[in-house]
Amino acid sequence: MEASRDISVIELRVNYSETDQMGVVYHAWYLVWCDVARTEHLRRTGMTYADLERRGIRLAVGEARVRYRQPAKYDDLIQVRCWVRDLASRRIIFGYAIDDSASGRLLATAETSLMVLDQDFNWNRLPADVAQLLPVAADPVRL
């Protein structure tokens, strides 16, 4: 699965420490993978969290939702797709699809809603130049 301008893709290998006693990935790791994918998605647009923070902008997760479909297991190679689902002046909603790289099976889908805050953690507005770097993409899978 290749990245497009609006949908980025990262690849990760499931580490043994990410699995539980049943031999499958512990559920909380999917949110960690989404965080890694979102950070890389921002980086590919030309900005980083550090760039935003230098401008006094904070992006804080206000909501997170994961739908688990198939288990990932130790040593699986997975891909995490990330895109912007919706953009408003004070909120960005990101979508995610986590796939098994070898089979293409959809393992999980997720969504996070990030609040735009200032350096004192009060509501803030997303600057227009930043918003322009985050085009909304159609969902490539049903979330």
Dihedral sign for Cα atoms in the order 51, 37, 62, 127: positive
Burial tier of 50 (Cβ tally within 10 Å: 0-12, 13-18, 19+): exposed
DSSP class of residue 15?
-
The two structure tokens encoding residue 75: 């040593």
Q: Interior CA angle at 20 toward 61 and 12, to 5°? A: 60
- Max CA pair span of the chain: 47
Neighbours of 108 (CB within 10 A): 23
Tokens 């900005």 -> residue: 47
Query: How many CA atoms lie within 13 Å of 73's alpha carbon, on the beta-carbon side?
Result: 5
Residues classed as catalytic = 20
